[in-house]
Each structure stands twice: as structure tokens, then as C-alpha cells.
Chains A and B, each alone.
Chain A
Amino acid sequence: MSGSTYYVPEQSKWPILASVSLGLLAYGAAMTITAMTADRDSFGPWVLGVGFLVLFYVIFGWFKDQIREEAEGLHSDQLDRSYRQGMLWFIFSEVMFFCAFFGALLYVRVFSVPWIGGEGDKGVTNMLWEGFNATWPLLQTPDMKQFPGASAVIDPWHLPLVNTALLITSSVTVTFAHHALKENKRGALEAWLAATILLAVVFLYFQAVEYHEAYTELGLTLNSGIYGATFFMLTGFHGFHVMLGTTMLFVMLLRCFDGAFSPEKHFAFEAVAWYWHFVDVVWVGLFIFVYIL
């Protein structure tokens, strides 16, 4: 609430183009997936492709405008605060998105799977699959024909433990990068940021190895009952967020090479760092609730 005059950004073509791209992406994705399941041809992939093209055009254009306007000194302290609050609330919305899947995992583990197994309040549902025995991880699904359960699950104390160490370390390195930026040590900033990206890429590689092992050796797939469903949805969405975060970190590194950010003004960098910490915290939750417990 400071400053004698307010700053209101100019008109822009990016929001409407972004809406067009979202519309194309949604329609194209629905066409593609529907046709895929029905096993017929469609021009959905083309719609999807155009949607992505427009999206990339918007991302580049919008951020370019944004960076230019900031360089011109148009961004007031008030606008800076709005960006910060906006980013924090966006991260909160992401947390709630993951909560939906964690909640589903909790519900099936604590309530519905034991019930189908004949335990507890609603154990009468066991009559649907008599002889079904509730265990977790659920390797023996009620209907093994429709949902063939996995032969084993991922051992948390191998790759997942390494991955936990990688991501927690990357949270520390990105903080070191931030401190270097605040002390205007550009070399250290770039080095720590590059280290963070390296850790992230190794994490993603291990995640891919783990998925490959799950599908080819363990028979743990999306189709292997509720364990596979919750496992792949939680780790998959997390992995997708790591990919996004890595891309964002990479863009930050490129901008650092370009001489962007000052020790005082570097909101873009901070926003990416916040996002990275969020991705980390979600992983810790995953490690505990999906892998260990």
C-alpha cells in the first residue's frame, strides 16, 4: 500500500492466445484419447499439436514481454508483492491437487481395502469376492483377471532412498545458489544452480529406471489394481512436476548466463526456488506414504 501512483499493465494479446491454446489442448487431448480407446483415427493429434505450438509461442512471448517491462523499471514494489502472493497461492493449489491423491491412497488403505477383505464396519462387502484377503501392498487384487496384481513392489531402500537424498540435496544447493545471488557471487550462483539441475536430471533418470523395472520385471503397472494406480498417479504427477521444475531451473540458469537478476531484484529466481522446495516436500511425503509405509 505504498507509492503515490499505481501501475496498471498495458493491454496484451497473450491472455487470449493462452486461452485459445488451452481450448485447443483440451479439445485435442479429448479427441485423441477418445479415439485411442475406441481404436479409430482422428485428427485430435493435429489439434493437440497446434495447441502446443500456440502454447509455446505464448510462453516465450509473454515471458519476453514480462522481462522487458521489468528491465524498463515498470514493475512497482506493489506489483512485486502481488507476484509473490500469486506464486504462493499457486503452490498452495498444487498442494491441494496432491492432497486429492494422497487422500485417495489413505482412504483405500485404511477403509475400502480392509472392508473388501471382510474386516471392520463394512466387511460385509467381502461377499463380492469371497476368499479375498486384504493386504498392503495389494498384490492379490479381488479380480486378478481384470486387474492382475504385481509380483512385488519397489524396494524403498534402493533407488527411492537414493532419489530422496538427491532431491533433498538439490533443495540445499538451490538455497546455496540463492545466497550466492544475494551476495552477488555470480560464479557460485551459476555453479550451484547447475548442480541443482544435475541432481534433478539424475533423479528423473532413476525414476525412469524404476518405472522400467516396475513394468518389465515386477508387473507393477497402471492396470495392476489400486496399488499400481495410486503408485503411478502419485509418483507420475510428482515426476511431471519435477520435469517442469527442472525446465524452470534451466531457464533460470540461461538467464543467469545472460546477466539477469540483481542481488535485490530476482523474483523469478525465487519463485522457481519456492516451486522446487514444494516439489521436494511432496517427494518426502511420497517416500513415506507410498514407498515405506
Chain B
Amino acid sequence: MATVDVDLPHVKDEDPHHHGPAKGLGRWLYTTNHKDIGSMYLIFSLTMFMIGGIMALIIRAELFQPGLQLVEPNFFNQMTTMHGLIMVFGAVMPAFVGLANWMIPMQIGAPDMALPRMNNWSFWILPFAFLILLSSLFMPGGAPNFGWTFYAPLSTTYAPESVTFFIFGVHIMGASSIMGAINIIATILNMRAPGMTLMKMPLFVWTWLITAFLLIAVMPVLAGVVTMMLMDIHFGTSFFNAAGGGDPVLFQHVFWFFGHPEVYIMILPAFGIISEIIPTFARKRLFGYSSMVYAVASIALLSFVVWAHHMFTVGMPLVGEVFFMFATMLIAVPTGVKVFNWVATMFRGSMTFETPMLFAIAFVVLFTIGGFSGLMLAIAPADFQYHDTYFVVAHFHYVLVPGAIFSIMAATYYWLPKWTGHQLNETMGKLHFWLSFVGVNVTFFPMHFVGLAGMPRRIPDYALQFADFNSMASVGAFIFGFSQLVFIYNVIQNVRAGEKATAQVWEGAQGLEWTIPSPAPYHTFSTPPKVD
């Protein structure tokens, strides 16, 4: 990021509209304040992370030993489905939107988001959407059990009744995402302080601008595909039924046209966060700022033309297999640029290893492992062996847990002092990091081996030869799961008390958000700061 010299005349409230937070519950229900809304998003996300995490632990407890011990196979399927849906739509995405709400206005010198009331609407849809989704657990026939990718005809002809609730839940959470994304784009394009040119924007802002574009482009496609499901289930259409001339594979094409950009929606803001943290603790400017921006843009554009690499074994024409294989491999180039730049930023830097930096370094290393296993899966002929095995599970958990989730934790530790005004408790932060780091790797690394040996995903029981690695993974999952209690303890402690934080918080931190006091005042910039 370009260094920003800031002339900050006043950070006090003069406008009569600008007062402190309202009292009582009304503050949270009616708020138009980006910090309040950001906090609500983050708390919601953490709640969903815990619920989805409990489901993951149920899965891992069942898989601790071969044979059926704890749950019925149908309930097991409901757990894998709901775990995926809740983590993707309830935990990771809202967490990034929460961080965007908190940080983007502060990083570009805006007083708030561009459309503050719509911002509140975007958030408040989510609790209702997830109440609907979670209520399906208690319906006759149980919750959705067809996997988070809800392939037809499992999700149409053979679906439980609750699928209709799932469809409408997806509709309203999609509306929430689209409105959130529109708000973020309008904020970035329209609310920057004078002098904050596009190529001076912090990378977190850049990655979110591109992510928001992806969201607006693909969430409507998700709405389209669930609408086709609804029509097939209840109104006699045959989109996904070959007997009427449709095609179940059509479902997969439309779903993954949404689904592949969706996985980048969950990783691009992480790239932004890591690109903020590493320069701070390496005490160097980010290496190759503009190449980072172009790399993110390239990854986003490529994400529209690689979707069928999720479907290599479905029976596509050869030309399709080859096209999607090479297009997918092309993504490794801009991703490689990013990893190179992060390493080059650290190279000969004056590094210190505070908690956010530990998470950031772990991100770079472990996300790269996930990237490489992705490259293996991109090789169409090899994918015929890996497809639908635990190798795939290992791959996407490596990019999502020590990738997306670690970046969210890194961001929380990094900006928490700015939010609460209290310095971090480094000892407890490091304890959380090391427990998580060990837990994550013990959980997901063995999955590569059982996957390559042929263990299929989404099964409650498995052949005896997979037993050792599975029990290992289950132990790791419980370590990782329970170590998140340390995270919750750390956050609550930091909100309640702690050493007073300075405005800059971290010695090497650069950027507008570090020029305002900690905690950041309820209304940050009532007049635009000047950025030179």
C-alpha cells in the first residue's frame, strides 16, 4: 500500500446529527452506524461459527471409529449439509462483511457506509434467514441432507420436505448479500476522502471492492438455481429431469457458476487482510502493491470460467475437460504472485511475531498447501481418482479454515485494540494461535492420506484401514474446536478491560485507521480528512 500522510484537522463531532449511540435495544435494531452493524455481523458470525462447529464435532465424533456409534446416517447427512451451509453463508461471509463494515469507512476516510439504512437491513435479514434454516432441523423428515452443494435430483426428487424452507432461506440471505455488496461498492467508489485515489487504497479495501462485484454477479445466479429447484419440486417443471428434456447436470453447471466465484468471495478479503498485517509486522511496505491489485482482479475474472472443474467426472465433452483444466491452472499464476509478494515483504524485514502476525504467517503457509492440493485436483485425469474423496475435503478445509478463518482471526486480533481501545493480551492470543495451529493440522492433514487411499466423503461409516487417520483427525477437531473458547475468552476480556491502546496500536501500522484514537469514536470522520 502507498504510504498515506494524513492531515487530520478534527475528529470531533460538530454536526447536530452526530451524537453518541442511542440507548437500549433500539440502538441495535434501528442503527445506521457502521461500527454497530459491523459488531453485529461479527457477533452473528461467531455464533454461527460455534453452531456449525458443534455440527462438525458431531461429524468427527461419529467418524472417530469405524461403524455407526452415535448418529443415524440420515442425521449424519443433515449434519454435513448444515455444517457446510452454516459455515459458508453464516460464519465466513458475514464475518468478512462485518470487517468491511468496521474497517472500510475508517480506511478510506468516510463517515459511514454509503447507504446506512440499507446496511442495517442487510444485517437483520441474516438472523431470520438462519432461523428458517435451523428450524428445518426440527421438521418432519429432518433438515436438508443433500450436501451443501444440494445437487439435483437429491435436492429435488429425493429431498426432505424442509428443502422448500431451505430454498426461501437462501433467497433472503442472497438478498442480504447483494444489498451488502452494493453498499460496499458504493462506499468505496463514492465515499473516499479527497486524495484517496484508487491506487492508494489499502488492499483490504481493494479486495473487498472486487469481492463485492463477484457477489452482485453470482448471488442472483444462486437465486435462479434454487428457483428452478422450487419449480421442479412443486410446479411440475423439468429443469433437472431428463424425462422432460432437462438435465440434472444443468443443476451442477448453474450451481458452480455461482459456486466457484463464491469460494473466491470467501478468500479474496482474506488476501486483503493478510496484505495489511504482514507489512505492519515486517515493518516494510507491501512488496508489489499494484501487482497485488492486478492479481486479485485476475483471480476474480478467471473465477467465472473455471466452474466445471468441480464436475470433471460428471461426463463432459473432452474439450470441456481440457478447457476447464487449463483455465483452472491459470489461476495458480496470480495466486503465486500474491504468495511471492507476501514472502518478499517479509524478506529482510524487521519482523516481530505478535498474535495477528502468527496467524498471517500460518495463513501464507497453510493456504499455500491448500492451493497446491487444488492444483492437484485441477488435473482432470488425476481428479477421476480424487473426486468426492476426503482429499477434496482436506483441500477445501485447508483453504477455508487456516485460510479464510485464520485471516478472520488475524483481522480480529489486529483491529480489536482499535475497536475496544485495549491492548491485546499477547500470552492468551499466542495460546489460542498455537492450539488452533496444531488442531487444524492434526484434523485436516491426515484427510489427504485417507482421501488418496480412497475414502469417500459424506459417509458415517468407513472401511477399517482408514481408522487410524480418522481417529487422529477427530482428536485434532476437538482440540481445534475447544481452543476457540480461548478466542471467545480473549475477545470478551479485551472488550471488558486491558492496557490502554495508543492510536497507532502496532509500531509498524500505516494507514488512516491508525490515525484516529483507540477506541475509534462512534462517528469517525464528520469532515473528510485530506490524504496526500
Contact = CB atoms under 8 A, between A and B. Distances in A.
Interface of A: 1, 3-16, 18-20, 22-23, 25-27, 29-30, 33-34, 36-38, 78-79, 81-83, 85-86, 89-90, 92-94, 96-97, 99-101, 103-104, 107-108, 111-113, 116, 120-122, 125, 128-129, 138, 141-143, 146-147, 221-230, 232-233
Nearest to A2: B194
Contact of B527 (A4, A143, A233): A4
B167 interface: yes
Contact of A6 (B112, B239, B245, B253): B112
B165 to A, nearest CB: 4
Contact of A85 (B185, B194, B317): B185
Given A11-B30, A15-B118, A19-B124, A122 B523 contact: no
A179 B64 CA distance: 71
A5 B257 CA distance: 43
A122 B317 contact: yes
A240 to B, nearest CB: 11
A233 B194 CA distance: 47
Contact of A8 (B26, B116, B121): B116
B483 interface: no
A153 to B, nearest CB: 14
B223 A33 contact: no
Interface string B428-466: 000000000000000000000000000000000000000
Interface stretch (B81-89, B90-98, B229-237): B229-237
B243 A12 contact: no
Nearest to B166: A30
B244 A146 contact: yes
Q: Taking each of B115, B181, B220, B315, which has the highest tally of chain A beta carbons within 10 Å of its own beta carbon?
A: B220
B151 interface: no
Interface string B216-243: 1111110111011011011111110111
A100 B224 contact: yes
A1 B193 contact: yes
Contacts of A4: 527-528
A29 B234 CA distance: 12
B511 interface: no
A1 B224 contact: no
Contact of B132 (A23, A112, A125): A23
Contact of B17 (A8, A81, A128): A8
Contact of B245 (A20, A29, A113): A113
B237 A29 contact: no
A228 B237 CA distance: 8
Nearest to A121: B317
Given A23-B128, A122-B317, A96 B221 contact: yes
Nearest to B165: A30
A228 B246 CA distance: 11
13 contacts: A6-B525, A6-B526, A7-B17, A23-B128, A26-B168, A30-B168, A85-B190, A97-B220, A100-B224, A104-B228, A111-B247, A229-B238, A233-B227
B410 interface: no
B22 interface: yes
A206 to B, nearest CB: 23
B111 A8 contact: yes
B115 A93 contact: no
A30 B132 contact: yes
Contacts, number: 248
Contact of A108 (B111, B165, B246): B246
Interface stretch (B169-177, B373-381, B500-508): B169-177
Contacts of B243: 129, 141-143, 146-147
A229 B239 contact: yes
Given A26-B172, A29-B168, A223 B237 contact: yes
A227 B242 contact: no
A5 B318 contact: no
Given A15-B117, A85-B190, A141 B217 contact: no
Given A11-B22, A16-B124, A99-B221, 6 more contacts: A8-B111, A100-B220, A103-B253, A108-B247, A112-B247, A225-B238
B516 to A, nearest CB: 15
Contacts of A121: 317-318
Contact of A107 (B128, B129, B161, B247): B247
Nearest to B318: A121
Given A13-B29, A27-B165, A143-B244, A89 B186 contact: yes
Interface in B517-532: 523, 525-528
Contacts of B154: none
Contacts of B241: 146-147
B281 to A, nearest CB: 32
A80 to B, nearest CB: 10
A92 B216 contact: yes
A116 B247 CA distance: 9
A221 B234 CA distance: 14
A14 B236 CA distance: 37
B232 to A, nearest CB: 8
B31 interface: yes
A59 to B, nearest CB: 13
B130 to A, nearest CB: 10
Contacts of A26: 128-129, 132, 165, 168-169, 171-172
A31 B513 CA distance: 47
Nearest to B128: A23
B118 A86 contact: yes
B116 A9 contact: yes
B12 interface: no
Q: Which 3 A-B pairs have the closest CB atoms?
A: A100-B224, A23-B128, A147-B244
B339 interface: no
Most buried by B among A92, A129, A138: A92
Given A82-B115, A96-B216, A226-B246, A104 B254 contact: yes
B224 A97 contact: yes
B322 interface: no
A19 B125 CA distance: 5
Nearest to B523: A8
Contacts of B257: 100, 103
B170 to A, nearest CB: 9
B254 A15 contact: no
B397 to A, nearest CB: 29
Interface string B3-45: 0000000000011011000100010011110000000000000
Nearest to A19: B124
B182 interface: yes
Contacts of A129: 243
Contact of A142 (B14, B116, B244): B244
Contact of B253 (A15, A18, A19, A107): A107
B238 A15 contact: no
Contacts of B360: none
B244 A33 contact: no
B295 interface: no
A121 B317 CA distance: 6
A226 B243 CA distance: 9
B183 interface: yes
B175 to A, nearest CB: 7
